[in-house]
A and B are shown apart, each in its own frame.
Chain A
Amino acid sequence: MIRVILPPHLRTLAKVSGEVRVEVSGPVTQRLVLDAVEQRFPMLVGTMRDRRTGARRALVRFFACEEDLSNEPPDAPLPAAVATGAEPFLVVGAMAGG
């Protein structure tokens, strides 16, 4: 079970509170975790990644285990602690005013 923490605006949009938990079969990567989140919450498609290219939206960040993983390859394995559910995968709205 992968634990995902969404930013407040996306929690509101998905009508959830607290962490989201998703299952990923096979290697636990950023791409597959986000695929699983979007499959469970279709209203989030396009809000974290470009709908067509799959690229991270410019003002979205991905953190885990106190590391910024935003620019890691989307198919790179996430930290083991994320894969085991010990640590959450964080989707974060970048600090950019507003």
Chain B
Amino acid sequence: MTDVRLLVGTRKGAFILTSDGKRTDWTVSGPHFGGWEIYHVNGSPADPDRLWASQTSGWFGQIVQRSDDGGRSWSPVGNDFAYAGEVGEHLWYDGTPRPWEFKRIWHLEPSRTDPDVVYAGAEDAALYKSADGGDSWTELTSLRTHPTGPRWQPGAGGMCLHTIILDPVDPDRMFVAISAAGAFRTDDGGVTWQPINRGLRSGGIPDEDAEVGHCVHRLAMHPARPEVLFMQKHWDVMRSDDAGGSWREVSGDLPTDFGFPIAVHAHEPDTVYVVPITSDSEHYVPDARLRVYRSRTGGGEWEPLTKGLPQQNCYVNILRDAMAVDTLDDCGIYFGTTGGQVYGSADGGDSWQPIVRDLPAVLSVEVQVLP
């Protein structure tokens, strides 16, 4: 019998939610690392019982934990995240130069094939790789030292590298996104990087279509069609059909195109999910109604999904790493809110149920399908 495991990072610990393939009855385990901010928990596709957690604290700094038994036990691994070579400077909020300073790991992306390989996205923006199960971390320096780096500037949440997508076909190709620098791609395993922001327009920067400076909130890709990318930008939902070479807006008839997460259906590459948020100054759902929007046309035309979701007095947000899809048929969709609810749909979004209601604010949600 297939099982499903949700990996939930919150402001005050990690939680692991498990169910069978019906996805109706769930067991909640946690908090793991209670009291710590858990920015992300993710599992290795190559060894699903190998899990990684980014555990962080304003008091005690950054810890990375690894589990080799599906989250029953954890051990801290290496946490020496050094900027290699000359640290350099980026722009601070006030426009003055400021040295890069490590703060935390936002996202952990395990290799699709090697359980000992994992990538980590940092604030201040940098990309790290471990090839020894997390014992040591090496910066892929050429991203941070890209010639545009001195012009990168933090978004409100910090200058974080929050999205890492490993191309499922080309092992040398990788996509990352940084707030508020934009999206970048490497085609040579991280030796060189190019900004992939052509077609983005951002009203909050002086040059609306600049090469960098865009507050990209999240990228999503369907593994069967890796040249197609979807993006939830600060404002605007975008689509690229050439691996980020150019972008076009697909916000269409969304009630607002501000938001954080974006996800693609596991079996339908043109079915996309977003959760619109009122605005950049009101980070909660519009009209006090929690609505996931689904496009079955690869963007442009969107339908609200509301069955089982609160449709009054709701003022939550869904953060960028807090939505995930499983690979079962029907595809399961999951998301966590800043109000501590985790919702799941076992029918592609047609209907939803709260899996758990009163967790700390949810920072991230990942899902694993276990044989």
Q: Which residues of A contact B (CB under 8 A)?
A: 7-10, 12-13, 43, 45-48, 51-52, 57, 59-60, 93-94, 96, 98
Partner of A47, one of B33, B35, B63: B63
Max chain A CB contacts within 10 Å: which of B60, B76, B79?
B60
- Contact call B59/A57, Cβ cutoff below 8 A: yes
- Contact call A46/B76, Cβ cutoff below 8 A: no
Interface: B88 (CB within 8 A): no
Closest B residue to A91 by beta carbon equals B60
- Contact call A9/B60, Cβ cutoff below 8 A: yes
CB contact under 8 A between A9 and B57, given known A43-B63, A46-B62, A47-B63: yes
Partner of B58, one of A13, A51, A96: A96
Partner of B79, one of A7, A10, A46: A46
Which of the four size classes fits the interface of chain B? 10 to 19
A78 to B60, CA, bound (A): 23
Query: A54: shortest Cβ distance to chain B, in Å?
Result: 14
Interface: B69 (CB within 8 A): no
Please give, as numbers and ranges, the residues of chain A lying within 8 Å of B33 by CB-CB distance.
12
A8 to B33, CA, bound (A): 11
Q: Which residues of B contact A (CB under 8 A)?
A: 33, 35-36, 57-63, 76, 79-80, 82
A7 to B61, CA, bound (A): 14
Partner of A60, one of B36, B60, B63, B76: B60
Query: A6: shortest Cβ distance to chain B, in Å?
Result: 10
Query: B104: shortest Cβ distance to chain A, in Å?
Result: 12
Please give, as numbers and ranges, the residues of chain A lying within 8 Å of B79 by CB-CB distance.
45-46
- Contact call B59/A9, Cβ cutoff below 8 A: yes
Query: A70: shortest Cβ distance to chain B, in Å?
Result: 13
Query: A13: shortest Cβ distance to chain B, in Å?
Result: 7
Closest A residue to B80 by beta carbon equals A51
- Contact call B76/A13, Cβ cutoff below 8 A: yes
Please give, as numbers and ranges, the residues of chain A lying within 8 Å of B58 by CB-CB distance.
59, 96, 98
Max chain A CB contacts within 10 Å: which of B36, B57, B62, B80?
B57
- Contact call A96/B59, Cβ cutoff below 8 A: yes
Please give, as numbers and ranges, the residues of chain B lying within 8 Å of A45 by CB-CB distance.
79-80
Closest A residue to B60 by beta carbon equals A47
- Contact call A48/B76, Cβ cutoff below 8 A: no
Please give, as numbers and ranges, the residues of chain A lying within 8 Å of B57 by CB-CB distance.
9
14 contacts between A and B (CB under 8 A): A8-B35, A9-B35, A9-B36, A9-B59, A9-B60, A13-B60, A43-B76, A45-B80, A46-B61, A47-B63, A48-B60, A51-B80, A93-B60, A96-B59
A97 to B226, CA, bound (A): 44
Please give, as numbers and ranges, the residues of chain B lying within 8 Å of A59 by CB-CB distance.
58-59
CB contact under 8 A between A94 and B76, given known A9-B35, A9-B36, A52-B82: no
